[in-house]
Structure 1
Amino acid sequence: MGGDDDNGGDNNLVTNWACCNDKQTLFLLLYIAYVFLALITWKTLIAKPIRLIAVFIHEWCHAIACWITCGDVHRINVFENEGGVTTFAGGCRCLIIPAGYVGCSIISMIFVILSGGRTTSLIGCIVFTISLLITLCYSPNKITVYICLGYTVFNICIIIADYYWYNMLLQLLFLYYGVTIGIFSIADTYDDTVAREAKGSDSVACQQEVCICCPSKFIGLQWAILAIFFQLIGMWFALVAMSPESEHFDLFAFGGDEGC
């Protein structure tokens, strides 16, 4: 009987959870602080590196969609003006075109969720770093090389520092990645596809090749709403993972309490 009750508790964990303990409160305060930091620094030189990595993730999502649909990626480039191009052949264009904005929103959501635990942050950081190194195999330009190598070295340094000195560092970094890239994704989606209709943008290409009857600005609006939705979902799942009801899941322990 006891085993059945435990299984039932696990099945209802997503809906039956408590808020807010110390871990969840710290997470929410950091989340809010990162949102304000992203909004304040959005157009400043300070945020240039993280804006470029957001563009990289946008282009990487195009590449992932191409690979999933059996296409070939020839090069992935990020430019200093915060634009980017993924050159590919084959694949399903109706999935590849929207994958940039939508995929970037999903990746930022995953980053937020993974930030809820030290082990999950480590796994996410390793996968992210491997993705940066893989990009170097696809004819990158100089800016892309600098971004990939720079963030690879930075991520490795944070992993080492987290292991030897401060065991919350990796979680703080990954939450920063998730929140900041998510906010930039929302802002860029609105600015590039809703506020204006730029020729050659993903929304215009989607309107021309995928959904002819749907205006490009409406397509962009849907992407922006999805970006907000994914951020909220990421925050929600991270809070669930840090709730008392999920303490027996060793992967999630915000604040480095996994050894307790």
Structure 2
Amino acid sequence: MAPIADKLTKPMALASRVIVTTGPLMMLSRRDLTVNSTQKITLGIIAVYVVVIALLWNIPYVRWVLWPFKMLVIAFHEFGHAFMARCTGGKVESISLDPHEGGVTHMRGGIGALTLPAGYLGSSLIGALLIFCGFNIVASKVASVVLGVCFLLTLWWARRDWLTILTVLLAVGLLVACWFIKHAEPLRYVVLFIGVMSSLYSVWDICDDLILRKINSSDASVFAKRYGGSSQCWGVIWSIISLLFMAAGIISGIAAFHQSNDQQQNDSKHFIPTH
């Protein structure tokens, strides 16, 4: 029979090994989430974007300043429907955007339980990924290439819808132009703005449609009719998920990108240089 002292010592030794093992991981987490000066500026810009978008969203006439970007994030919304429809065996017939800030995706088949929320959640996920990439110039370059591919797919599904085609072409033109300015530094702020806009649009559009105006033809109302619950309930759930996506994008950006602005520009010079 082992002595009592040995019985007490072994658990303590095991606990010590656990502390030694997990200690560096905890220190690594703290270090990764330490905010440097460049990241503070990025967080400040995100906060300014949130305030500016919130103001422009509700001020009459001035809100038209956001119209091109609203069209853009609506395109993300519709792309989310289309992409999920294709992933679940459905067929996308067309995508169209409406001048009155609406959009529709005509599709057949697919799994409705996934394709219906994919519009809101897909656009918020895209927004979170763009916010993540907006913390770094090179990552913003990569994001712009991925966006370009998504835009081309949307353009293919848009067919003859002139507003969708015009919105996509202007967005691609803006992204390309930013590549040639100061080693693509402005591209980071454009990607960041589009990301914030896309993340917040999902939340505000759900609240506007389901809580304030209670429109019955929303994705959430169709989802509620098919699978139960209320449209308001599903809208709130999707809004919370969208905010969690946005928070995850910010935290991941802080953890992943610690380079100063000068370091980012130097890295950008060697990644698909434009000068």
Residue 36 of structure 1 is matched in structure 2 by 51
The TM-score, its normalising length taken from structure 2, stands at: 0.81
Residue 45 of structure 1 is matched in structure 2 by 64
Deviation of 1:16 after TM superposition, in Å, equals 5.0
Residue 211 of structure 2 is matched in structure 1 by 194
| Range that drifts further, 170-179 or 15-24 | 15-24
Residue 246 of structure 1 is matched in structure 2 by none
Deviation of 1:17 after TM superposition, in Å, equals 2.7
Match of 1:116, SS state, is coil
The percent of aligned pairs where both chains have the same amino acid is 24
Gaps in structure 2 of 5+ consecutive residues: 1-19, 268-275
Deviation of 1:19 after TM superposition, in Å, equals 2.3
Between the two proteins, the alignment pairs up a number of residues equal to 242
Match of 1:235, SS state, is helix
Correspondence list, 1:61-210, <5 A: 61-138=80-157, 139-161=159-181, 165-210=182-227
Residues 70 and 40 of structure 1: is their aligned pair in 2 closer, same or farther, counting only changes over 3 Å?
same
2:73 pairs with 30, 34, 54, which one? 54
Task: State the alpha-carbon separation in 2 of the partners of residues 13 and 180 from structure 1.
Answer: 32
Residue 257 of structure 1 is matched in structure 2 by 263
Match of 1:81, SS state, is coil
The TM-score, its normalising length taken from structure 1, stands at: 0.85
Letter in 2 for 1:189: I
Letter in 1 for 2:134: S
Deviation of 1:197 after TM superposition, in Å, equals 2.7
Indicate if the aligned counterparts of 1:66 and 1:90 stay in contact, CA closer than 8 A.
Answer: yes
Residue 237 of structure 2 is matched in structure 1 by 222
Bigger relative contact order (CA 8 A; separation at least 6): 1
Residue 250 of structure 2 is matched in structure 1 by 235
Q: Relative to total residues, which structure has the larger helix share, 1 or 2?
A: 2
Residues 10 and 219 of structure 1: is their aligned pair in 2 closer, same or farther, counting only changes over 3 Å?
same
Residues 128 and 228 of structure 1: is their aligned pair in 2 closer, same or farther, counting only changes over 3 Å?
same
String of CA shifts for 1:18-58, please: whole Å, max 9, x gaps: 42211221111111111111111114111110111111110
Residues 28 and 217 of structure 1: is their aligned pair in 2 closer, same or farther, counting only changes over 3 Å?
same
Task: State the alpha-carbon separation in 2 of the partners of residues 125 and 66 from structure 1.
Answer: 24
Gaps in structure 1 of 5+ consecutive residues: 244-252
